Amino acid sequence: MKQITVTDLAARRQNGDIVVVDVREDEEWAGGHLEGAVHIPMTQFMEREGELPEADELYVMCHVGGRSARVTQYLEQKGIDAVNVEGGIAAWQEADLPVVTD
């Protein structure tokens, strides 16, 4: 499974359009997320995966990396190029990277 650090993800976001998929639950999402991220909670993922945008790669994020790793593996099994974000939103915020709230 491919993985990326939050600092590398932040650099890639500055260099172009990439798709971040946040698989946390609604309450977690409301507390702060990456601007422009696609929100599909893991508990709804299989029924809503048709909502995923077309992209060369999907960067999958959760709170600390466990749920996103499972979703990344699932997407890879389906032939979709997916990358797990190591440490999730917790590492993102610890690195003092920007989040937005609803």
Point out the residues that are catalytic: 62
Contact between 95 and 26 (Cβ < 8 Å): no
Structure tokens at 31: 């507390």
> Rounded distance, CA 38 to CA 74, Å?
17
Contact between 89 and 6 (Cβ < 8 Å): no
